[in-house]
A and B are shown apart, each in its own frame.
Chain A
Amino acid sequence: MTQKTAYTMLMASLPPHPMSLWDVKYKPVTRLRLERQLKLLSEQDSQQLAAIESILHWAKMQEAISDAEIATEAERVIKSINNPLLQEAIIWRLELRIIVTAIRRRKLNRPPPTKQEHWGYGQVLPLIRNNWQLDDFGLSHRFPWVAKAQDLFVKNESMELEKLLLNLSWQHYEQIGQTHYFDFEAVVLYVLRWDIVNRWSQCDEQMAMLQFEALVNRGLGDFLQTA
């Protein structure tokens, strides 16, 4: 009982995420405030959350780390977590990434990974290797979005692909968190969804900066030419 409602105050103090990722106009809470609220976590839970974020959040990964090192670290983190739901959440995201990596790798005309190559984590690795020639790597029954992702990749629609992948993760976290409201699982899923919102809002920010730069250049065009 205590465990089920251990973080009632913490969860109640956080503004809820919107129903749809595309409804997000701004982040529900700043990272600074989120970090302040997360101080209510126990030491052990806080470390687990940091470990989960370190393997799922690109910005928190060390630079110049190889695929093999990422896979080894992911395996270590998954083994250290004694919570099936959180393990499932991590594995799902890692498998999503490994499928996208495979699509990208194939587009670059690189050969399929060998059996010895340690290039990711998940049960999909042997399936991808064995079905390299198939469009969907034979994964459509389990991951119905693979064909669409492949199509977007071929058409070079990177923005649409990014939207698809972010939305998949968003919906998956929402789905698996439906029976968790005030426990550690709810906190972790909240933070992982916050990371998605953050990433999406940064996408918009970058686009806005590019548009702003283009406008400035257009406005200054004549002056720049005469200068």
Chain B
Amino acid sequence: MNDFIIILGWIGLFAPMALAAIGSVIGCAIAGQAAIGAMLDTDSGYGKYLGLSAMPSSQVIFGIVLMFTLQRTVTVEVAPGLFAIGILSGVSLLFSAIYQGQCCASAIHASKAKPEIFGLSVAPAAIVEGFSVFTFIFALVLSGSLPQSVA
């Protein structure tokens, strides 16, 4: 039983990084495809489309920082905490990256037709980003309450 709990701890330790990376891959791919599509239909503004399509990559950075913050000797005492914080923050980052990718794709699609709304069209993606920042910050706060190592 203890071995199983230790395994869960390790899963929780790597989960924020792995799940956020999966989310960023999907989010960036969706927004990237929209950016490429928009480039076929426009003669300028390529840079801003590409820049916007990279927005969902922030989640993987949050995931990496969380992983290093959670890193400690995995024991039976800390493993449940690592698992809970790691998995839940990872899932949250995963979904926020995917949906942020969709927001970015819509922003690219809309601003292609009306370049003047580019700034406003990014707002929904920024709001989604805000929720992933919440996850990141509070996971950091909670990880501070986990013991570093128990002898």
Where the two chains meet, the residues of A that have a C-beta atom closer than 8 Å to any C-beta of B are 1, 5, 8-16, 37, 181-182
Q: Which of A8, A14, A181 has the most CB of B within 10 A?
A: A8
Count B-side interface residues using an 8 Å CB cutoff.
18
CB pair B105–A8 under 8 Å, yes or no, is yes
Within the complex, what minimum Cβ distance (angstroms) separates B24 from chain A? 14
- A5–B103 CA distance with the chains assembled, in angstroms: 12
Closest 9 CB pairs of A and B: A12-B37, A13-B37, A9-B33, A9-B37, A13-B40, A8-B33, A12-B34, A16-B113, A12-B38
A-B contact pairs, 14 of them (CB 8 A): A1-B26, A5-B102, A8-B105, A9-B33, A9-B34, A11-B34, A12-B33, A12-B34, A12-B105, A12-B108, A12-B109, A16-B112, A37-B40, A182-B34
- A8–B36 CA distance with the chains assembled, in angstroms: 9
CB pair B34–A8 under 8 Å, yes or no, is yes
- Binding site secondary structure of chain B: helix
Residues of chain B within 8 A of A16, CB atoms compared: 109, 112-113
Would you give the 0/1 interface string for B25-41, flagging 1 where the beta carbon is closer than 8 Å to chain A? 01000100111111011
Residues of chain B within 8 A of A37, CB atoms compared: 40
CB pair A12–B26 under 8 Å, yes or no, is no
- A8–B109 CA distance with the chains assembled, in angstroms: 9
- A8–B112 CA distance with the chains assembled, in angstroms: 14
Residues of chain B within 8 A of A14, CB atoms compared: 37, 41
Residues of chain A within 8 A of B109, CB atoms compared: 11-12, 16, 181
Indicate whether B98 reaches chain A with its CB closer than 8 angstroms.
Answer: yes
Indicate whether B106 reaches chain A with its CB closer than 8 angstroms.
Answer: yes
